[in-house]
Structure 1
Amino acid sequence: MASSTVTSAQPDRPPRPNLAFRQLRGQRSPAEFAAAVRRAAREIGERVSCDARYVGRVEAGEIRCPNYAYERVFLHMFPGRTLTDLGFAPRSSVRGRRPGPAEDALPARPDRPPCATSETRGADEPYDTQDTQNPYDTHDNNEESDVLRRAFMTSGATVAAASLGPLGLALDAAAAQRPVRRAGAGDAGALEEAVRRIRVLDDRHGADGLYRRAAAPLRAAYALLDAGTSRQATADRLYSGAGELAISVGWLAHDSGRFDDARSHYAEALATARMNGDAGLEAHAFCNMAFLARDAGRPREAVRAAQAAQRAARPLGSARLMSLLALREAGGWAGLADRVGCEQALVRAQAFFGRGRSDADPEWMSFYGEAEMEGLEAQCWSTLGDWPRAARHARRAAELQDPHFTRNLALYSAELADDLARGGRPDEAAGAGMRVLDLLDEVQSSRVHTMLSGTARVLLPHRRASGVSAFLDRHAALPRPT
């Protein structure tokens, strides 16, 4: 991790074990306690990816003060206690600022973190106060979001991608080619964080501009695998992290329209999964391969890849994962114009989704909620040419989408605009298209641009309809994605 621009009030020293937190865990194992934390988070609408490793870090004193999402969860689990009662240090002692009037009090859903005005924006923490286990805990990352948004709006996605720098992995080709010492747990942690950060940047802003920057950490990750490690547990984390990073980089290529590059990265992830006997990684790789095959016009391959993913995923026990994979299969059947096969897969997807979340759900599936399910179903009906039904699902997806994830909001709105245009509702299509155009300062996704261009072509004969001319003129003035 890069050194912080925030001056710590405490000198560097070995962490002090958090005995109070250990006592609260009681007889439960770290994994059991982590599952209880995740359940408590869901009760209050938070999403944290707590695992046994995180619990161990807290108890070892490595995390002196949790981030705001974890804070709300812990205070919900142990009502009447403050952070200091739970064995954590006051934020003032960790973040190097004067104590505020309500040091340990936090509103249920603040508009801004209480220390936002007294910290350097975007700076790394001097200690692990802002836990990196789950960057999808977005409610309290307003400062980071603002910084990244400004970076994208002023200098493009490549500038924002520079925030991958503090993760401890080389970001340039020369660094990736240097000899690597034997890898350790710190390297595995940096690799896992690189995957999370790339996903966050993609969710917020789209893939264009990120892809080339993210390829260098992938090379560095495989250099770590070649360097080897003395502990099997660390080796397993490195293999899993490298495979997940390959999938993330493949998705950036996929969303940027670089289908051949995406196929290569997904194949690399699949090979890594099979070498390490990692069924979860194998299911993830096949899932993305199915999506890519559908987008590349190979629907039968999409069906086969989705079915392979389901075979790999069955022992994992995640109904949400099986739901997503059934939707991937439905997309392939739609591409084959097999309405019956598509509908059967959609029914399975909805049934699995209805079983709810579970502790077995992979971390990478944080994006998959009701909005994504509606959006993927909309794509199926659109492929089958049922424009009214597709528009209903696309509208629902856009309404359900958390506005923080700008790329997905733009994607669902672009799907809605296209379905309305092809369904003979040009004025409504133009309105939806305008909403997409409003988001393009923050989103750089070739997929969204391509969809919007198709909508514009469909609307050309309807220029005299209400709002269509304004949409076409504004779309024509857009800079072409490079």
Structure 2
Amino acid sequence: MASSQVTSSQPTPDRPPRPNLVFRELRGKRSPAEFAAAVRRAAREIGERVSCDARYVGRVEAGEIRCPNYAYERVFLHMFPGRTLTDLGFAPRSSVRGRRAHPTGETGGAHEPYDTQDPQNHEMDDNYEESDVLRRAFMTGGGATVAAASLGPIGLAFDAAAAGRPVRRAGADDAYALEEAVRRIRLLDDRHGADGLYRRAAQPLRAAYALLDAGATRRTTAERLHAGAGELAISVGWLAHDSGRFDDARSHYAEALATARMTGDDALEAHAFCNTAFLARDAGRPREAVRAAQAAQRVGRNLGSPRLMSLLALREAGGWAGLADRTGCEQALARAQALYERGTSEADPEWMSFYGEAELEGLEAQCWSTLGDWCRASRHARRAAQLQDPHFTRNIALYTAELADDLARGGRPDEAAAAGMRVLDLLDQVQSSRIQAMLAATARVLLPHRRASGVSAFLERHASSPRTA
């Protein structure tokens, strides 16, 4: 693997880190955790996605991060309009670009979220315009190319396990790499969908469990590895779920649930049950969906996140809709709305960054669609597509596909065809079997309406569009 060009985010032997007193002053009386939450909220406001936590804030203030990566730069400049990076206490990017970071005795955690990492040299690339690079890689090489470039941090552990060699005991750098793999999978799925990514993502999952088997040097590292492996299992399970591999998804979610229960991790258990409920609904097992969503709510009740409980109520609503229980569905939807309106919380899980008003509307649309109320379903689906941040390309395509299907079934073929065309425009960026299946169903509904305005053009374009293998 070629060495990366890096910024000197780590202190070098001849230049100790210089504390960033300006940044510390900007934090004011807020704790590092409170300030990190503010950074994440600001990121969501501009469609960015950063995984800022108290530890990251501490590293910035200690001077370990001389210049943030581009995602953080955009967020910080949004938070403090009119200021430059140097006004915020950072070194100019030109002064750090291209310098190599030297390994230190403590390699763990010395990397910024979204920076690429060479596991042999512990080097990272800060000159990385994420969205453009990922999109180019996706367009030219497909999801597997992106995954190969983005999910490599724990590949060495996998290679050792595959070769039958013992894997060394895991350290903090392995835990970081595992957490980063989870973030990258979520990022890629948000933008491009699951197809082409699933098989590649299974490799770091195998590596994660190889690390668990090898043991960790510290108890805190072991806890991070278990949590990271569980979240990675859920992420890989979701990729299987979204690409129509329901049995694989069920297995991965069960693996995450077992990991959660083995370590007493309530947050991971709630997440695993949440995804299990969603899968059960899609797989035609609505009663199981209700039970899994209710189990998630029991374990999630003590986590202090109304937004999490809102999402779990929506999962339950989807199950009730599948059972044709309109009253149960409406009650769960009302509960989800009330919980959502309580706002965000410090306790909101990182994986829930996708859950905003657009997702709330989109999931409600799916409930009404399942109940056959096409008018109400299309109203919510339209609002979901309008509200969605441009960052979540896959979800825009999903909500618009839902809208097209609801309009088609509701007797509005011309509007359905127009919405279907918008989905087709996005399919060069998004690869999702779920979305393609929805669009195919819409096309079947529209076949008897070929003479309606725009329908014939949509059907012809859909028929000629490539399908995911």
> Do they fold alike, i.e. is TM over 0.5?
yes
2:250 corresponds, among 250, 257, 263, to 263
Q: Which residue of 2 aligns with 1:114?
A: none
Q: Which residue of 2 aligns with 1:153?
A: 139
State how far apart, in whole Å, the 1-side matches of 2:7 and 2:57 are. 27
Q: Which amino acid aligns with 1:406?
A: T
State how far apart, in whole Å, the 2-side matches of 1:403 and 1:89 are. 31
Deviation (angstroms), 1:42:
7.1
1:58 corresponds, among 54, 57, 60, to 60
1:131 corresponds, among 69, 93, 112, to 112
Helix, strand or coil for the counterpart of 2:324? coil
Residues 271 and 296 in structure 2, CA contact (< 8 A), matched pair in contact too: yes
Residues 181 and 227 in structure 1, CA contact (< 8 A), matched pair in contact too: yes
Q: Which amino acid aligns with 1:131?
A: E
Helix, strand or coil for the counterpart of 1:167? coil
Helix, strand or coil for the counterpart of 2:338? helix
Equivalent runs, 1:211-290 vs 2, <5 Å: 211-290=198-277
State how far apart, in whole Å, the 2-side matches of 1:454 and 1:297 are. 16
Q: Which residue of 2 aligns with 1:4?
A: 4
1:436 corresponds, among 423, 427, 435, to 423
Residues 207 and 444 in structure 1, CA contact (< 8 A), matched pair in contact too: yes
State how far apart, in whole Å, the 2-side matches of 1:457 and 1:182 are. 55
The count of aligned residue pairs is 448
> CA distance change for structure 1 residues 133 and 356 in 2, over 3 Å: closer, same or farther?
farther
State the Cα RMSD in Å.
3.1
2:323 aligned with 1:336, yes or no? Answer: yes
**What is the TM-score of this pair, normalised by structure 2?**
0.87
> CA distance change for structure 1 residues 6 and 27 in 2, over 3 Å: closer, same or farther?
closer
Deviation (angstroms), 1:421:
0.6
Q: Which residue of 1 aligns with 2:377?
A: 390
Deviation (angstroms), 1:276:
1.1
Helix, strand or coil for the counterpart of 1:156? helix
> CA distance change for structure 1 residues 421 and 358 in 2, over 3 Å: closer, same or farther?
same
Equivalent runs, 1:33-72 vs 2, <5 Å: 33-35=35-37, 37-38=39-40, 48-71=50-73
Deviation (angstroms), 1:145:
2.0
Q: Unmatched 5+ residue regions in structure 1?
A: 98-127
Segment of structure 1 superposing worse, 420-429 or 56-65: 56-65
> CA distance change for structure 1 residues 5 and 83 in 2, over 3 Å: closer, same or farther?
closer
Q: Which residue of 1 aligns with 2:361?
A: 374
2:468 aligned with 1:467, yes or no? Answer: no
> CA distance change for structure 1 residues 63 and 175 in 2, over 3 Å: closer, same or farther?
farther
2:403 corresponds, among 402, 407, 416, to 416
Residues 246 and 283 in structure 2, CA contact (< 8 A), matched pair in contact too: yes
> CA distance change for structure 1 residues 42 and 264 in 2, over 3 Å: closer, same or farther?
closer
> CA distance change for structure 1 residues 298 and 170 in 2, over 3 Å: closer, same or farther?
farther
Deviation (angstroms), 1:71:
4.1
Q: Which residue of 1 aligns with 2:155?
A: 169
Q: Which residue of 2 aligns with 1:183?
A: 170
Q: Which residue of 1 aligns with 2:183?
A: 196
Residues 19 and 87 in structure 1, CA contact (< 8 A), matched pair in contact too: yes
Residue by residue over 1:96-150, the C-alpha shift from the partner in whole angstroms, topping out at 9 and shown as x without a partner, is: 49xxxxxxxxxxxxxxxxxxxxxxxxxxxxxx99931799xxxx99943223223
State how far apart, in whole Å, the 1-side matches of 2:373 and 2:23 are. 56
Q: Which residue of 2 aligns with 1:404?
A: 391
State how far apart, in whole Å, the 1-side matches of 2:191 and 2:48 are. 18
> CA distance change for structure 1 residues 186 and 382 in 2, over 3 Å: closer, same or farther?
same
**What is the TM-score of this pair, normalised by structure 1?**
0.85
Deviation (angstroms), 1:51:
1.6
Residues 151 and 204 in structure 2, CA contact (< 8 A), matched pair in contact too: no
Q: Which amino acid aligns with 1:397?
A: A
Q: Which amino acid aligns with 1:368?
A: Y
State how far apart, in whole Å, the 1-side matches of 2:93 and 2:359 are. 36
Deviation (angstroms), 1:260:
0.3
What percent identity do the matched residue pairs reach? 81
Residues 170 and 216 in structure 1, CA contact (< 8 A), matched pair in contact too: no
Residues 153 and 177 in structure 2, CA contact (< 8 A), matched pair in contact too: yes
2:21 aligned with 1:20, yes or no? Answer: yes
State how far apart, in whole Å, the 1-side matches of 2:442 and 2:80 are. 52
Helix, strand or coil for the counterpart of 2:150? helix
State how far apart, in whole Å, the 1-side matches of 2:134 and 2:114 are. 19
Residue by residue over 1:174-223, the C-alpha shift from the partner in whole angstroms, topping out at 9 and shown as x without a partner, is: 66554211111111100000000000101101000100000010000011
State how far apart, in whole Å, the 2-side matches of 1:188 and 1:144 are. 22
Residues 171 and 213 in structure 1, CA contact (< 8 A), matched pair in contact too: no
> CA distance change for structure 1 residues 27 and 377 in 2, over 3 Å: closer, same or farther?
closer
State how far apart, in whole Å, the 1-side matches of 2:90 and 2:356 are. 33
State how far apart, in whole Å, the 2-side matches of 1:351 and 1:407 are. 27
Q: Which amino acid aligns with 2:393?
A: T
Q: Unmatched 5+ residue regions in structure 2?
A: 100-108, 117-125
State how far apart, in whole Å, the 2-side matches of 1:44 and 1:471 are. 33
> CA distance change for structure 1 residues 281 and 2 in 2, over 3 Å: closer, same or farther?
farther
Q: Which residue of 2 aligns with 1:323?
A: 310
Q: Which residue of 1 aligns with 2:443?
A: 456
State how far apart, in whole Å, the 2-side matches of 1:358 and 1:134 are. 27
Deviation (angstroms), 1:5:
3.8
Q: Which amino acid aligns with 1:273?
A: A
Q: Which residue of 2 aligns with 1:108?
A: none
Deviation (angstroms), 1:55:
2.2
Q: Which amino acid aligns with 2:19?
A: N
Q: Which amino acid aligns with 1:260?
A: D
Residue by residue over 1:406-461, the C-alpha shift from the partner in whole angstroms, topping out at 9 and shown as x without a partner, is: 11111111100100110011111111111111111111100001001111111111
State how far apart, in whole Å, the 2-side matches of 1:148 and 1:75 are. 23
Residues 49 and 134 in structure 1, CA contact (< 8 A), matched pair in contact too: no
Residue by residue over 1:351-372, the C-alpha shift from the partner in whole angstroms, topping out at 9 and shown as x without a partner, is: 0111111111100000011111
Q: Which amino acid aligns with 1:132?
A: P
2:344 aligned with 1:357, yes or no? Answer: yes
Residues 371 and 401 in structure 1, CA contact (< 8 A), matched pair in contact too: yes
> CA distance change for structure 1 residues 323 and 87 in 2, over 3 Å: closer, same or farther?
same
State how far apart, in whole Å, the 2-side matches of 1:91 and 1:394 are. 42
State how far apart, in whole Å, the 1-side matches of 2:334 and 2:79 are. 37
